[in-house]
Chain A
Amino acid sequence: MAIIRNTTRRDFLKSTAGIAGLATLGAGLPLTSARAADLTVGFIYVGPKDDFGYNQAHAEGAAVVKGIEGVTIVEEENVAETVDVQKSMESMINFDGASLLFPTSFGYFDPHILTLAPKNPDVRFEHCGGLWSADKHPANTGSYFGYIGMGQYLNGIAAGHATKTKKIGFVAAKPIPQVLLNINSFLLGARSVDPEITCQVIFTGEWSLAVKEAEAVNALADQGVDVITCHVDGPKVVMETAAGRDAFVCGYHANQQPLAGDKYLTGAEWAWGNVYTDMINKTLAGESIDNFVRGGLAEGFIKMSPLGPAVSDAARNQFEATKAEILKGDYAVIKGPMKDNKGNVIATEGQGFAETDVELESMDYLVEGVVGSTS
């Protein structure tokens, strides 16, 4: 019995070592021969991949590229933004033979991707959300993101038509530029319907804090806010609590219609499937991926949830007309004359920041009409 067990173990070790060796060999080969062979792509998520939010959006993108011939997907979820992610990436590179990695969370980049990228020059690291710059970061890293603020602007239009109290609300995690742009866009969309609308923002301080998010929604509803959206990692609690308080909701990250039913107006969703398909096809064809990739509605980086039954015809018309304008490109949500909510001028008459403007990615203000503060 013992002899048999020994042999199998040895066989097992031999074969796994063989597989691992083959895999590393595969990863080390130049891309031209990788076309004939398979491409293994690794996706790493900071939370569960079915959270109705940020991670689900990425996982849906990964599910789309699974169908591409010759592509193998490896995924790992709940990977903390610590040395854990380095271990995950190393294991994907060394054992799964991944040569293209999508570590999707913001905090993975510095220092984790920046530690591994120079050690693995043949592996491509694509990071979501960060700002890549040629003089600071390795050439085999890249950044991609979408202009989802436009989606929040469209959310705001639906919200502006739906609100009766002229108060809309935003449950936000942290005052970082992407979140601030979303808050500002949401209000400006609503103000394009009625300039008297104000937006109440509540910062919870963390990306995922279920109880605090629920408290924030209740506090907003108590103040008569009747349309609520959010920017947290998993919008499930916000959507369910808000719908329970009889407020309308606008989604974020993924489609949350199943959580809020008729209370769901629309939502700004990621469409990572298009982005990932494009990047993987380029890699398979031996082409290089740009280090700095951005896109919006027109490029298929983001999409809107189907409009809910509570959206009026007037709202629908304005929504579709604005969407058509945005699709033409160079649409500016932040345009002069405009002040922030402390009275400082952020855009003078005739000045506008189109969606592609990199300056928007270092936003540090809330526009006039947003009740809240960045600190």
Chain B
Amino acid sequence: MNETDIGLWGVPLAIIGGAIRVSTPFLLVSVGECLTERSGRINLGLEGTLVFGAMSGYAVAYQTGSPWLGVIAAAIAGAVFGFAHGWMCKLSRVNDIAIGISLMILGMGLAFFFGKPYIQPVAPDLPSIPFGWWSDLPQVQAALRINVLFLLAIVVAILMGRMFRSTRIGLMVRVVGDSTDAARALGFHPDRVRLFSTAVGGALAGVGGAYLSLYYPGSWNEGISSGQGLMAVALVIFARWNPVSCIWAALLFGGAGALGPALQSIGVTQGYYLFYAAPYVLTLGVLIATSSTSRAMAGAPGALSITK
């Protein structure tokens, strides 16, 4: 047949392409949540932040004609949600998980409300860099069209890993996250550190939302996220609170999600509902394989409410 027919090679290519296309929101949200959780708080509201970021990014990009302003707006909106979470959790006897869930619902509700007029208009997309120029195959070129935000997310993850390991700020976040009392004894302000960690985490989730609405799939509608924010929060545990591991976890999830459509496209059509469950089966498998009774919560920050 013709030269563009790649047959079975479509599956690994789709998985690689899908991993790159789909993983970015997972990565941004999970890296942000990593920071928040390392400081000792859980922000379950990131699904709402993601959706609100998607909406605000799309709206601003449409109004101004610049997708980059959209990304900035989404980051600011995300940071505001993070601040709200951080500030409320500072109050005594407030549960961060409950606040997170209510912020998630609030974020989605506000996004649906303000996003109403932006469902129909078409906003400009974020540009991507064609890393597949060396190949003649349009499929390879399409798979390797990489968005700047994906590269940015990887850089952020690596830098955050370095920060935790070998900088003063990283150490401070870790101390605050492991023991509130020890942090106070050292003269840190646990609430302030957590406030900023949650705000930065929210900002990253907002950018993740902008990726959804401004690049892939590249339009705003109310079902845009379909739970990716929640999954990303779970990815943090999967990645053992290590930002660099978040990269692999996110890529794995993105690639596994592309498996279902790719297999159907080459004619493996039976049981596609099972293939769609692949990411979750994979998670269970990896969690079981890496589990251990002696270090079940290895890497978990000590002050996290789930470990207390």
Q: Which residues of A contact B (CB under 8 A)?
A: 47-48, 50-52, 78, 165, 200-206, 208-216, 218-225, 234, 236-237, 240-241, 244-246, 258-259, 371-373, 375
Cβ of A236 and Cβ of B267 under 8 Å apart?
Answer: no
Cβ of A223 and Cβ of B261 under 8 Å apart?
Answer: no
Cβ of B221 and Cβ of A236 under 8 Å apart?
Answer: yes
CA gap between A270 and B19 in the complex, in Å: 37
Cβ of B258 and Cβ of A48 under 8 Å apart?
Answer: no
Cβ of B265 and Cβ of A220 under 8 Å apart?
Answer: yes
Interface string of B5-16 (1 = CB under 8 A from A): 111001001100
Cβ of A211 and Cβ of B226 under 8 Å apart?
Answer: yes
Q: How far is the CB of A338 from chain B (nearest CB, A)?
A: 20
CA gap between A147 and B217 in the complex, in Å: 31
Cβ of A215 and Cβ of B257 under 8 Å apart?
Answer: yes
CA gap between A333 and B221 in the complex, in Å: 35
Residue of B nearest to A77 (CB): B116
Q: Which residues of B contact A (CB under 8 A)?
A: 2, 4-7, 10, 13-14, 17-18, 21-22, 112, 116, 119-120, 122, 138-139, 142-143, 212, 216-219, 221-224, 226, 228, 257-258, 260-262, 264-267, 269-273, 276
Q: How far is the CB of B151 from chain A (nearest CB, A)?
A: 20
Given A48-B116, A209-B223, 11 other A-B residues pairs in contact with their CB atoms under 8 A: A48-B119, A78-B222, A204-B261, A210-B219, A219-B264, A222-B13, A222-B265, A225-B265, A236-B219, A237-B218, A372-B269
> How many contacts A-B (CB < 8 Å)?
137
Q: How far is the CB of A217 from chain B (nearest CB, A)?
A: 8
CA gap between A244 and B219 in the complex, in Å: 13
Determine the chain A residues whose CB is within 8 A of the CB of B119 once the complex forms.
48, 50-51
Which of the residues A48, A203, A219, A245 comes within 8 Å of B262, measured between beta carbons?
A219
Known contacts A223-B266, A237-B217, A245-B142; is A211 also within 8 Å of B4 by CB?
A: no
Cβ of B218 and Cβ of A215 under 8 Å apart?
Answer: no
Which of the residues A165, A203, A210, A258 comes within 8 Å of B264, measured between beta carbons?
A203
Determine the chain B residues whose CB is within 8 A of the CB of A201 once the complex forms.
264, 269
Cβ of B224 and Cβ of A219 under 8 Å apart?
Answer: no
Residue of A nearest to B116 (CB): A48
Q: How far is the CB of A260 from chain B (nearest CB, A)?
A: 11
Which of the residues A48, A210, A240 comes within 8 Å of B226, measured between beta carbons?
A210
Determine the chain A residues whose CB is within 8 A of the CB of B120 once the complex forms.
50-52
Cβ of B10 and Cβ of A371 under 8 Å apart?
Answer: no
Determine the chain B residues whose CB is within 8 A of the CB of A209 once the complex forms.
223, 226
CA gap between A241 and B116 in the complex, in Å: 22
Cβ of A223 and Cβ of B265 under 8 Å apart?
Answer: yes
Determine the chain B residues whose CB is within 8 A of the CB of A221 once the complex forms.
139, 142
